[in-house]
Amino acid sequence: MKRCVLLCRCSTDKEKGLQDYQYQVDALTKVCESRGWEIVKVFGGYVSGAAPIGERQEILDLIAYVKENHIDYCCATEISRVSRDLITGVQIIRTLAENGVNLFLANYGLETLDKDGKISPITSLILTITLEISAMERQQIKTRMQMGYQSYLQRRRDNKEEHPLGRPVDYRKSKEEYRQQYPKELSLLRKGISLRNVRKLTGTSVGTLRKLKRFV
């Protein structure tokens, strides 16, 4: 029986993050049971996916563990749970490979090692692209937040009055705003992919996906 560890990560420890963390554990447990793999340990934490390895205690603990124990697979629901940074993601994949550990990503059913125990070129290419996309999405979120804050400061300067930080209580996103913010999700929904599977592929909450479905 193959021995495996689970790698689960959330960017927040709030209620939503706790639910997402448990979802990852449950989903990966089902995958491992279906494949006859034995789960020997779960590594997880609440930390930004862009943090370097030195700031990822769960990664440091994982690496130390696989060096001391025979582990066949490290399972994650998707590459963004491993890292949202290309360089860090590649470092983690290579470190696991050097210790004979095959990284398995449940959403695509991908394994990083081939039958000879070497990093698969095709899988490496796919993961490089997905890591780049993940990093780009993170940068877009950061840019939108910065633009929103600058707009808030400008309103205060122009009107010389206090504006409460955040959206107005009666604010509602327009159809166009949803389309600009969630193009990938809308594309998947138009293809008839279920809310649950779209959530697995994008990480977007089911509540948001239900709102997006109105625009499909």
Q: Which residue type, as a one-letter code, is found at position 185?
A: E
> Residue 127's closest CA among 63, 182, 84?
84
Query: Hey, CA dihedral for 202, 205, 206, 211, is it positive or negative?
Result: negative
Residue 142 is predicted with a pLDDT of 62
Q: Are 184 and 202 in contact (CB under 8 A)?
A: yes
Give the C-alpha separation, 44 to 145, whole Å: 27
Q: Are 62 and 5 in contact (CB under 8 A)?
A: yes
Query: Which segments within 79-213 are labelled E, that is strand?
Result: 102-105, 110-111
Alpha carbon of 214 to those of 74, 147, 184: distances in Å?
A: 38, 27, 15
All structural domains of the chain with their residue ranges: 3-130, 172-216
For the CA atoms of 191, 133, 107, 204, the dihedral, rounded to the nearest 10 degrees, stands at -70
Q: Are 73 and 102 in contact (CB under 8 A)?
A: yes
What are the beta bridge partners of residue 6? 42, 75
Give the C-alpha separation, 152 to 81, whole Å: 32
Query: Hey, CA dihedral for 211, 106, 142, 184, is it positive or negative?
Result: negative
Strand 102-105 to 73-76 pairing = parallel
Give the C-alpha separation, 216 to 213, whole Å: 5
pTM for the structure as a whole: 0.61
For the chain, 216 residues long, give each residue's pLDDT as a single digit of tens: 999 999 998 876 554 556 788 889 999 999 999 999 999 999 987 777 677 888 888 999 999 999 999 999 999 999 888 888 878 888 999 999 999 999 999 988 999 999 888 888 888 788 778 777 766 665 666 676 677 667 766 776 667 655 555 555 555 677 777 777 888 788 888 877 888 777 767 778 888 888 888 887
Q: What is the CATH number of domain 3-130?
A: 3.40.50.1390
